[in-house]
Structure 1
Amino acid sequence: MSMFCYQCQETAKNEGCTVRGVCGKDEEVANLQDLLVFVLKGISVYAEKAKTEGLDLSDKTAPFIMEGLFATITNANFDADRFEELIGEAFDLRDEVQKKFEKVYKENHGEEFSGELPEHATWFSDDISDYYDKATDVGVLETENVDIRSLRELATYGLKGIAAYGDHARVLGKQKAEIDRFTQKCLAATTDDNLSVDDLVGLVIETGEMAVETMALLDEANTSTYGHPEPTEVNIGVRDNPGILISGHDLKDMEELLEQTKGTGVDVYTHSEMLPANSYPAFKKYDHFVGNYGNSWWHQDKEFDSFNGPILMTTNCITPVKDSYQDRIFTTGMAGYPAVTHIPDRKKGESKDFSEIIELAKSCDSPVQIEEGTIPGGYARNTVMSVADKVIEAVENGDIGRFVVMGGCDGRFKSREYFTDVAKELPEDAVILTAGCAKYRYNKLDLGDIGGIPRVLDAGQCNDSYSLAYIALQLKEAMGLDDINDLPISYDIAWYEQKAVAVLLALLSLGVKGIRLGPTLPAFVSENVLNVLVDKFDIKPTGEAKEDVAAIMAGE
């Protein structure tokens, strides 16, 4: 095989992509991503050793590690040149951390360090052609034991989700030393052959705990900067002005684009993951912020065509770019695609420069209307908890029979129609709690409300999944329950990439049991590891919609 990747739900045959990724990445990019993670682990090994000598370097290592891991998330970056640069930067940082460790070790022990180190900490080349040779040997399959491999990858993929959330928070000036320290600790642990299966199970649960902390930090960063999302009817039609379409999850990019397009005659629309930006108070002051255009990420090949104007991808998810819009799509942050213009990161104290995109937009036709009307959003934790007494009353008097958390990711496979079928099949006393682009499978259905409470409560992006956990925990306290599993809440989660893995591990760390996960179980979870998750948390695969709904409403 020329590559091996099984980190996303759409991996070939639910086993692994071995020639080219279903996502579109080629073998060179897949292997370079593996090599980057390999060197990031080496940085973490030295940083952890320095910590045992009393030197905490996590404030130096974590920002780069998070960015590097973020770049390897599914559909984020397809640009081999960028990964070559990142690997070179990783070697430079590893060398810096190594020297600091060796210095403090000698000061503490009076001799040079001579202990054993994994290859992640020792292999080096300044010849880029060597990157491609080495990259084929350092991926997932370097761990031979299938259960150890499964747990290492489960922790690593959860950490990739944490890295994405943590990077967004850091952009908005929020960071937490505990999260930074865990980032290097977790990566270093995946190189330790002395850790047992039980040790790694503990690491996976700790990854979930840290995912909760990171999502809470991001929630604080977003809401303290842009206000709490508020119930909003989001326009899905278009105007006659030229427009810019912005996708991804980076609200700072959204803010700066809106500021720079003021008074230019150019409208701004969100796409897919950026839809929830429409519900933040800080963005509502811009009268050229029109609404949302289109659906979830995998529709972009058609919707980017019909939009006519430039598109800005701030993070994942990018699908293979068509020639018809290649000259008007841009990436920024950790996103990237070959032959696509990349907007450089902001310099300290300055904004990113989106002038090239704005000037292009002025020469483009206005978007082709593909829908009309509105869709609801903005039902994050602050909104829901402001009417908690009303919600609890509706539960106690039987008007609400069940909450069903249907958060997570959307994807291309027909099997994801299951989540639409579940939404249609749920009885009228069921309320769907959602976050992430899984919502596009049912957020345009007319499901009505229960006493003024919409039957689809959309908390926002996958980044906003903390709201769903927060609501559950607060309802547990308000209703005087001892166990979160005693709530009338069921979990029917759609997963696709690594942020969804972080959300899953977060729920497990909170003790949530009985989660249905689909449309398939992760290929990277071995049979023995799955048995552990089933025994401890009663995780189960999604089945047929009608049967699942019956079980959900029965609390099973």
Structure 2
Amino acid sequence: MFCFQCEQTAKGEGCTKIGVCGKQPDVAELQDVLIYAVKGLAQVAKEGRKVGVKDSRIDHFACEAMFSTLTNVDFDPPRFVELINQCVSHRDELKKKVQAAGGWADFTSGPATFTPAATVEELVAQGEDFGPEAEKPVVDQDILSLKETLTYGIKGIAAYADHAAILGKTDDQIFDFIYEGLAATLDDNLGVNDLLGLVLKCGEINLVTMELLDAANTGAYGNPEPTEVPLGAKKGKALLVSGHDLKDLETILKQTEGKGIYVYTHGEMLPCHGYPELKKYEHFYGHYGTAWQNQKKEFAEFPGAIVMTTNCIQKPQDVYQDNIFTTGLVGWPGVTHIADKDFSPAIEKALSLPGYDADIDRGSVMVGFGHNAVLGVADKVIEGVKNKDIRHFFVVAGCDGAKPGRNYYTEFVEKAPEDTMVLTFACGKFRFFDKKLGAIGGIPRLLDLGQCNDAYSAVKIASALADAFDCGVNDLPLSIICSWYEQKAVAILLTLLYLGIKDIRLGPSLPAFVSSNVLNVLVDKFDIKPISTPDEDLKAILG
């Protein structure tokens, strides 16, 4: 195996024996096969679009397949075998439609003609020919770097598009680009400049996708409102929902209503408490725990059932393996998977477990500061800047992780001067989400914009401030301090670069899949730089 798609990759170079995430070599190879197969599907779909052949069912499948290969989503080999075979079936079905419409689909080699092996062992062996390590000896390293960056950005787009599609929102231009981008990774005629253009286009389409997802979430559940969320517990049975999926949470809330179970959020589900159509449920109580990498300890201590709705799962510990369930694209060998959205097994488990024997008070945090809420007090924010009550805005956001160096983000927020504001989203905020930073002009200094899926809010707020001050975003008193871990963060970073945002500080380490020459281009063009120390970076930013 060889995998270097996440920030925690072994030695900062690549995982070759077992994934730091817990991914076994067979799963890594099966994921490489699946990605190769989806690229073949993309080649055919791209030709189909030239003659008006589209299939929304196949478009959604392509997103699900790519999403399944994100870090910490699916670790279950049989699921990948099924996806690989489905992919080839969809590809061949699409070929016939393209040919019937007068299009070209006479591929003679490559993934568009790929035949998967019959057994898991043979599929794993096939995977050894398809991953980035197989391409290293024969492909220019800068070309390989850009192709991998494009692939990982598309994985992020696919995840966001899948969330939006679940809530009934789709956009053909997203699927058009997914196919265009994946097919481009097979084109040996593309040079560095061609691929750089596609990488930035990936950022552009990710912005479209995040806007679509924002419309899907707010259309279904209302605009998030500033909401105080307890970090403690209520006496009674308990069910914990982790991951990102709002629809799954709503379904669980409906199915647990009246059953004497309190529903809690974990990880990136915390912002769900701000949505009017979710927080209306009286048994939707509070938030438990912090970020994904702490789940082994936190889940072991939770006295109820646990449902994982999207990426972030780690290898379950024996003490809670019987209490945890997966749904959607998430999978782990031996863990009960709920495919039909009937959460009765998890509900029954919650009722059988002790729950909390008394109320617990652990304080609270505030959520619900999406772009609608923040822009609703934009006049106060603008006045604060003009009066010099607000000197600077810091967007301290992104993924959390277990690798050393992430305490930087806690220290940065703690040391940010009292006349600065901190905007945050995604699970990186769990390094400082419960800090009491006070307020400026009645507005909390720490504003939680939501999940990583809600990065669009940060873009919307920055754009609105730039309009209000009649300047570009780069001219605002605003700095982006980004932490990354997986491929949705890659897509967000590409969006920031597409928007021309400069002077981004990225950490805790730079991506292993970005070659030194490509990194130099990003430094020269966008002034992107690694984090140093909180003191040094604050001094450099504020003077």
TM-score range, shorter chain: over 0.9
- Counterpart-to-counterpart distance in 2, 1:532 and 1:35: 31
User: Is the contact between residue 239 and residue 366 of structure 1 (CA under 8 Å) also seen in structure 2?
Assistant: no
Match of 1:8 in 2: 6
- AA paired with 1:43? L
- AA paired with 1:186? G
- AA paired with 2:80? F
- Counterpart-to-counterpart distance in 1, 2:190 and 2:360: 54
User: What are structure 2's unaligned runs of at least 5 residues?
Assistant: none
- Counterpart-to-counterpart distance in 2, 1:51 and 1:455: 48
Change (3 A) 1:117 1:59: farther
Match of 1:83 in 2: 80
Match of 2:60 in 1: 63
Match of 1:488 in 2: 477
* Residues 1:477 and 2:467 aligned together: yes
- AA paired with 1:34? D
Match of 1:381 in 2: 371
- Counterpart-to-counterpart distance in 2, 1:279 and 1:298: 24
- AA paired with 2:59? A
Q: 1:123 aligns with which of 95, 114, 118?
A: 114
- Counterpart-to-counterpart distance in 2, 1:37 and 1:217: 25
Q: 1:262 aligns with which of 254, 257, 264?
A: 257
Q: 1:40 aligns with which of 38, 44, 47?
A: 38
Match of 1:462 in 2: 452
Identity of aligned residues (%): 51
- AA paired with 2:396? M
- Counterpart-to-counterpart distance in 2, 1:552 and 1:333: 42
- AA paired with 2:91? R
Aligned-residue Cα RMSD (Å) equals: 1.4
- Counterpart-to-counterpart distance in 2, 1:62 and 1:514: 36
Q: 1:186 aligns with which of 167, 181, 190?
A: 181
Match of 1:363 in 2: 352
- Counterpart-to-counterpart distance in 1, 2:183 and 2:37: 11
Change (3 A) 1:370 1:533: farther
- Counterpart-to-counterpart distance in 2, 1:51 and 1:311: 42
- AA paired with 1:65? A
Comparing 121-130 and 143-152, the one that deviates more: 121-130
- Counterpart-to-counterpart distance in 2, 1:47 and 1:220: 27
- Counterpart-to-counterpart distance in 2, 1:371 and 1:163: 39
Superposed counterparts of 1:130-529, under 5 Å: 130-143=122-135, 144-345=139-340, 352-367=341-356, 372-481=362-471, 483-529=472-518
- AA paired with 2:116? S
- Counterpart-to-counterpart distance in 2, 1:377 and 1:552: 27
**What TM-score, normalized by structure 1, do the two folds share?**
0.95
Change (3 A) 1:551 1:58: farther
User: Is the contact between residue 504 and residue 529 of structure 2 (CA under 8 Å) also seen in structure 1?
Assistant: yes
For residue 58 of structure 1, report the CA deviation from its aligned partner.
Answer: 5.5
Secondary structure of the structure 2 residue equivalent to 1:415: coil
For residue 101 of structure 1, report the CA deviation from its aligned partner.
Answer: 2.5
- Counterpart-to-counterpart distance in 2, 1:370 and 1:530: 49
Comparing 173-182 and 201-210, the one that deviates more: 173-182
- AA paired with 2:418? E
CA displacement 1:58-88 (0-9 Å, x = unmatched): 5343211100011111001111111111111
- Counterpart-to-counterpart distance in 2, 1:371 and 1:181: 50
- Counterpart-to-counterpart distance in 1, 2:356 and 2:184: 49
User: Is the contact between residue 514 and residue 539 of structure 1 (CA under 8 Å) also seen in structure 2?
Assistant: yes
- Counterpart-to-counterpart distance in 2, 1:473 and 1:72: 33
CA displacement 1:263-322 (0-9 Å, x = unmatched): 000110000010011111111211111110011111111111111211000001011110
Secondary structure of the structure 2 residue equivalent to 1:324: coil
For residue 371 of structure 1, report the CA deviation from its aligned partner.
Answer: 6.5
**What TM-score, normalized by structure 2, do the two folds share?**
0.97
CA displacement 1:148-186 (0-9 Å, x = unmatched): 111011111111111111000000000011111111111
Match of 1:348 in 2: none
- AA paired with 2:98? F
CA displacement 1:338-389 (0-9 Å, x = unmatched): 00000014xxxxxx20111111111111148886010111111000000001
Change (3 A) 1:452 1:97: same
Change (3 A) 1:371 1:75: farther
- AA paired with 1:68? A
Secondary structure of the structure 2 residue equivalent to 1:403: strand
User: Is the contact between residue 310 and residue 361 of structure 1 (CA under 8 Å) also seen in structure 2?
Assistant: yes
CA displacement 1:93-113 (0-9 Å, x = unmatched): 111122222333xx46xxx86
- Counterpart-to-counterpart distance in 2, 1:7 and 1:479: 39
* Residues 1:97 and 2:94 aligned together: yes
User: What are structure 1's unaligned runs of at least 5 residues?
Assistant: 346-351
For residue 425 of structure 1, report the CA deviation from its aligned partner.
Answer: 1.3
For residue 218 of structure 1, report the CA deviation from its aligned partner.
Answer: 0.2
Change (3 A) 1:12 1:428: same
Aligned residues: 538
- AA paired with 1:136? E
4+ aligned runs moved over 3 Å, structure 1: 367-371
User: Is the contact between residue 44 and residue 105 of structure 2 (CA under 8 Å) also seen in structure 1?
Assistant: no
Secondary structure of the structure 2 residue equivalent to 1:64: helix
Secondary structure of the structure 2 residue equivalent to 1:406: strand
- Counterpart-to-counterpart distance in 2, 1:552 and 1:380: 25
Change (3 A) 1:204 1:58: farther
- AA paired with 2:254? E
For residue 126 of structure 1, report the CA deviation from its aligned partner.
Answer: 4.7
User: Is the contact between residue 493 and residue 515 of structure 1 (CA under 8 Å) also seen in structure 2?
Assistant: yes
Secondary structure of the structure 2 residue equivalent to 1:353: coil
Match of 2:533 in 1: 544
Match of 1:530 in 2: 519
User: Is the contact between residue 234 and residue 360 of structure 2 (CA under 8 Å) also seen in structure 1?
Assistant: no
For residue 450 of structure 1, report the CA deviation from its aligned partner.
Answer: 1.1
User: Is the contact between residue 58 and residue 180 of structure 1 (CA under 8 Å) also seen in structure 2?
Assistant: no
